[in-house]
């Protein structure tokens, strides 16, 4: 059975992720299959709507094939770059797609799953949604457009999510605009059937089946997030959290101390520059260059060892503190690639 199922049901084309044992984590062939399908359907007048979901299991998509990326990064990095290049083309294709797209974020939607869902016109969250960009915990950064999406969230919530990897539920996704609709998971089959029967009523169908989400808990912390994560300098965020000294602030500080100082600094710069990017294509080009550099650095290989391979959850970051990460190192990571190696939308 294929890891990606593509099918046409009337005037609706469906992409279903089908790698449940890996929580539908993306591989290069999966991204290639989705790109091929989207390119075929783009010019097919019989197809009116593109629907993305997962076939089974508890995750829409948990991210990318991290173990492969680390194995490649420990060598010449070529396979990792090929994955990023293909995945980012898929993200960009969805972002610029001319036909209406809808993603059902039922279950785990993290990393690469965010990159699939966020470009879609309609994004459906449920009571099962667990949305996060947890990359700093393995020495990566919120890519697949994270620099674009997170930098456009209210206040400093994007910076908070990028640094801490905090998980949002479905209600919080709706409150922040990351999801457009909140449906009970039990209503999804009905929604998909109605869309299939009459694609022209896509938005109206989702509006009709949507229910009021529960309270968005993150909004209660909004003032603290905006105040304590106000700086784009990691050392200043640490200082603000320490100076506050409250239970919530110290909990965030404790969380940050488990993350890679290097890629937390990368994330802050990525969001600062992402907010000013003129186009999503520009963002993808930047993220590809950053990813190509980061995937071969110590912190990513060490993060994967600690979290995925040995599972001791005790990564030894190098440098171990924010102060140890020099501006020069961050400049090296953000250096543009040679023209022949740059990412292109295809």
How far apart are alpha carbons 161 and 130 in whole angstroms? 13
**What pLDDT is attached to residue 56?**
86
92: which residues sit within 8 A by CB, 6+ positions away? Answer: 119, 280, 281, 284, 345
Answer whether 169's CB lies under 8 Å from 176's CB.
Answer: no
Q: From first to last of the 346 residues of the chain, give the pLDDT tens digit.
A: 899 999 999 999 999 999 999 999 999 999 999 999 999 999 999 999 999 999 988 899 999 999 999 999 999 999 999 999 999 999 999 999 999 999 999 999 999 999 999 999 999 999 999 999 999 999 999 999 999 999 999 999 999 999 999 999 999 999 999 999 999 999 999 999 999 999 999 999 999 999 999 999 999 999 999 999 999 999 999 999 999 999 999 999 999 999 999 999 999 999 999 999 999 999 999 999 999 999 999 999 999 999 999 999 999 999 999 999 999 999 999 999 999 999 999 8
Q: Which token pair is 114?
A: 């965010």
Peptide bond into 193 cis (omega under 30): no
For residue 343, count other CB atoms closer than 10 A to its CB: 21
Which residue pairs, CB below 8 angstroms and at least 24 apart, start in 173-178?
Answer: 173/105, 173/123, 173/125, 173/129, 173/131, 174/125, 174/213, 174/216, 175/213, 175/216, 175/218, 175/219, 176/216, 176/218, 177/153, 178/118, 178/123, 178/125, 178/131, 178/149, 178/153
Residue found under tokens 């186009």 = 279
Whole-prediction pTM value? 0.97
336 secondary structure, DSSP code:
P
**Residues annotated catalytic, as ranges:** 64, 112, 135, 143
Segment 61-78, tens digit of pLDDT: 999 999 999 999 999 999
**What pLDDT is attached to residue 199?**
96
User: Which phi and psi angles does 324 have, rounded to 5°?
Assistant: -75, -15
Pick from 35, 31, 34: nearest CA to 63: 31
How far apart are alpha carbons 13 and 184 in whole angstroms? 23
- Domain formed by 4-137+159-209, architecture: Alpha-Beta Complex (3.90)
**What pLDDT is attached to residue 58?**
86
Please report, for the chain, the start and end positions of each structural domain, with discontinuous segments joined by +.
Answer: 4-137+159-209, 218-341
Q: What is the CA radius of gyration of the chain?
A: 20
């Amino acid at each position: 059975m294929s890891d990606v199922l593509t099918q046409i049901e009337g005037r609706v084309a469906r992409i279903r992720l089908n790698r449940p044992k890996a929580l539908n984590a993306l591989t290069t062939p999966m991204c290639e299959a989705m790109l091929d399908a989207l390119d075929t359907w783009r010019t097919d007048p019989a197809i009116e709507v593109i629907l993305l979901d997962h076939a089974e299991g508890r995750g829409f998509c948990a991210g990318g094939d991290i173990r492969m990326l680390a194995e490649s990064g420990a060598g010449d990095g070529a396979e990792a770059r090929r994955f990023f290049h293909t995945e980012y083309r898929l993200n960009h294709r969805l972002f610029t797609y001319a036909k209406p797209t809808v993603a059902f974020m039922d279950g785990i939607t993290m990393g690469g799953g965010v990159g699939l869902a966020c470009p879609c016109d309609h994004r459906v969250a449920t009571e099962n949604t667990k949305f996060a960009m947890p990359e700093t915990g393995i020495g990566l950064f919120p890519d697949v457009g994270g620099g674009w999406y997170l930098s456009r969230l209210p206040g400093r919530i994007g910076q908070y999510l990028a640094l801490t990897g905090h998980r949002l539920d479905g209600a919080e996704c709706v409150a922040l605009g990351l999801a457009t609709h909140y449906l009970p998971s039990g209503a999804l089959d009905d929604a998909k059937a109605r869309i299939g029967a009459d694609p022209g009523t896509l938005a109206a169908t989702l509006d009709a089946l949507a229910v009021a989400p529960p309270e968005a808990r993150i909004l209660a912390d909004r003032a603290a997030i905006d105040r304590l994560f106000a700086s784009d300098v990691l050392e200043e965020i640490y200082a603000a959290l320490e100076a506050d000294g409250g239970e919530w602030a110290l909990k965030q500080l404790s969380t940050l101390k488990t993350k890679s100082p290097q890629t937390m600094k990368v994330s802050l710069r990525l969001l600062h520059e992402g907010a000013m990017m003129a186009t999503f294509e520009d963002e993808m080009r930047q993220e590809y260059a950053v990813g190509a550099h980061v995937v071969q650095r110590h912190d990513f290989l060490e993060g994967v060892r600690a979290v995925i391979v040995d599972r001791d959850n005790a990564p030894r970051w190098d440098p171990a503190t924010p102060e140890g990460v020099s501006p020069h190192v961050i400049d090296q990571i953000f250096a543009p690639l040679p023209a022949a190696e740059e990412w292109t939308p295809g």
